[in-house]
Structure 1
């Protein structure tokens, strides 16, 4: 079954320095139909103004993956880690027993990113932070695993959740076939472009929950970039 979450149906918040759309219910007043998919509980589409950012704040027992779509993200945390994550690259943070961090726009244009939160397999554990470059050319016409809770996904950022975060770029007219195990679900977002998923059209920034489906056929009508979480 495909359950679309069109851009205009998403919950939203506007704090001036931060404009956010929520694929999943975050605050009271959000779309009550946008419930978690498996252990995927948050997918925020954030735009952070130049000079803006989140001050130091804490997380616990959550796997947080950040996919940068535009601009440069700056990161600092209580582990002493610092980094800059550029468009197309990814960071993964296992909050574990507790971590504090700050995230901010390090560039000279609005910073656009996805914040994806997954519940871990088990609570606790030492907090961790990692980042990695994922050139878009490497995922042209094929899904590449960016972050994974499975040891056989070589090259992916490690997370402690029963999930994978994947991405693909498609040229206009290209199509791709993806197989989900019968026990799995997925959530897919069109970062840019226009596609059809199992024959149903999706515009840029739309999302879709994919449940009780094993075969996913995606056809690109325009050059497109897709991000997906495969979850138990």
Structure 2
């Protein structure tokens, strides 16, 4: 089963400095049919204006992955971490017992991100933050794991969940495959370009909720950049 969730069907709000679209219920948007997908709880498509951002606020017991699509995001938290994550790269925050952080666009232009929240396997644990570059050329034509809590995944950002976040770039006409394990949930969003996923066509920023598919074959209609989450129920 692949359920197409067009970008125009997403909830959200335009706050001026932030134009936020929500693939799942979040903040003031609530849809009982879109409360999560497996352990995936949040997928926000955020456009952040220059020299603005999220002021200090707190989280606990959530794995928060930020994929930067355009521009850059600057992170700071009460643990003393500070870092700038550029387009195509990823940062991960394991909120654990609690962390206060801020995320700012300190650039001269607009920043666009996917903010992905995954429910951890266990509550608690010391909070952590990390960032890692993932050159787009390294994932041309095949899925590359960006963040994972699955044993055996190497050279990724660690998360505390039975899940992985993957990136892929395809030139128009190219294809790539991904094989799911048993009883897994997938959620795929093209950051750019249009694609077909097992024959279902997606435009940029549409969502595809995937269930009971042993594998997917992604074919690029245009040059495309994609993010996929593979998670336990």
Q: Deviations over 1:167-226 (max 9, x none)?
A: 100000001111111211100001100100111111011001000111211111110001
CA distance in 2, matches of 1:74, 1:28: 25
1:85-104 aligned within 5 A: 85-104=85-104
User: Does 2:7 align with 1:7?
Assistant: yes
1:6-155 aligned within 5 A: 6-155=6-155
CA distance in 1, matches of 2:35, 2:181: 21
Say which SS state the counterpart of residue 147 (structure 1) adopts. Answer: strand
CA distance in 2, matches of 1:198, 1:151: 28
The change in CA–CA distance for 1:72 and 1:118 in structure 2 (over 3 A counts) is: same
In 2, are the aligned partners of 1:10 and 1:30 still within 8 Å (CA)? no
Structure 1 moving runs of 4+ over 3 Å = 27-32
> Any gaps of 5 or more consecutive residues in structure 1?
none
Tell me the number of residue pairs that the alignment of Structure 1 and Structure 2 aligns: 232
**Which residue of structure 1 aligns with residue 179 of structure 2?**
179
In 1, are the aligned partners of 2:4 and 2:200 still within 8 Å (CA)? no
Q: Return the offset for 1:32.
A: 3.4
CA distance in 1, matches of 2:167, 2:7: 19
Say which SS state the counterpart of residue 8 (structure 2) adopts. Answer: helix
Q: Return the offset for 1:51.
A: 1.1
Say which SS state the counterpart of residue 190 (structure 2) adopts. Answer: strand
Q: Deviations over 1:20-64 (max 9, x none)?
A: 000111135434322311100000000111111111100000000
CA distance in 1, matches of 2:57, 2:151: 30
In 2, are the aligned partners of 1:93 and 1:129 still within 8 Å (CA)? yes
Say which SS state the counterpart of residue 134 (structure 2) adopts. Answer: coil
In 2, are the aligned partners of 1:58 and 1:99 still within 8 Å (CA)? yes
RMSD over aligned CA atoms reads 0.9
